[in-house]
Amino acid sequence: MITLNEYLILSGVLFSIGTAGVFLRRNLITMLLSIEIMLNAVNLSFVAGGRYHGSVDGQIITFFVMTVAAAEAAVGLALVIALFRHKETLSPDAYTTLKW
Amino acid sequence: MDQVWFYIFAAITIVASLGVIGQRNPMHSVMLLIVSFGGLAGLYILLDAPFTAVTQIIIYAGAIMVLFLFVVMLLNAHTEDEDIPAALGPHALKAGVLLSLLLAVQVAWALTRVPETGFTNDPGTVSAIKSVAQIGSQLFTTHSFAFEVTSILILVAMVGAVVIAGKPREER
């Protein structure tokens, strides 16, 4: 029988994969994709928790997270385009102008 | 039977997500992320949330990922710089992998210490969770304020994206 624990562990592992992507990759687009993985890991735990408590609130907050993810993707990708126009590279190491 | 499907979908999701962060080509990463979202949609169906599963496919795999693909194609940047900057030191990659593994092990370890909590199989509860009408009425009554705020968020994000990615004023 699959319990809430299995879903939460899966969610935790997915979240760790997402953080690993942000830590290890040096490509702005892949870093944004890793953030999407993390948001989806959280979504999974929300839906599993809602199922456990027998309420639809878990699914509803998932829709809000999806909306925030869409807004984040739109603004993030706009920033990537603006940055790429400056230096023709997607490596975050190239954008250190604000570093003291 | 559900158990088998859970492990199939969980394996698809994890393998595809690992592929996302392992690929050098952003195009392949985006494609693998769509596969990962497909696995998650299967898990949502197992959790008696078919509407969320469909939304996951339509909104996430259909709309947000197309946005990513669009930008990948627009920028035409198919490779990533291989060299790690010297300032990070020789063991930067190893340290990052180690820290990420540590996080995964910690989270999994903490969660295995929680007592096993199974899902209810009461048919009334299950059908209430599955019901789209229930989701809709909850969304537009209890959560109506958050819903309205969301629309403002979308508007601000849209205007922000246009302003940031648009051409600088003098070039117009």
ipTM, two decimals, is: 0.90
Contact residues on chain A for B168, CB-CB shorter than 8 A: none
- Write phi, then psi, for B150 (nearest 5 degrees): -60, -40
Residue A94 has which token pair? Answer: 């190239």
* pTM for this predicted structure: 0.88
Q: Percentage of residues in chain A with pLDDT exceeding 90?
A: 46
Question: Does B100 sit within 8 Å of A20, measured CB to CB?
Answer: yes
Whether the predicted pLDDT of B118 surpasses 80 = no
Which range (A38-52, A64-78, B44-58, B75-89) has the least confidence?
B75-89
d(CA B133, CA B96): 46
Name residue A71's amino acid.
Answer: A
Of B40, B44, B47, nearest to B20 (Cα)? B40
Contacts of residue B145, defined as CB under 8 A and 6 or more positions apart, other chains included, come to: none
A2 vs B2, B37, B157: nearest CB: B2
**Using an 8 Å Cβ cutoff, are A12 and B13 in contact?**
no
Tens digit of each residue's pLDDT (9 = 90 or more) over A79-91:
999 888 888 788 8
Residue of B nearest to A29 (CA): B26
CB contact under 8 A, B139 and A50: no
CA distance B66 to chain A (A): 11
Nearest CB to A77; choose among B60, B68, B96: B68
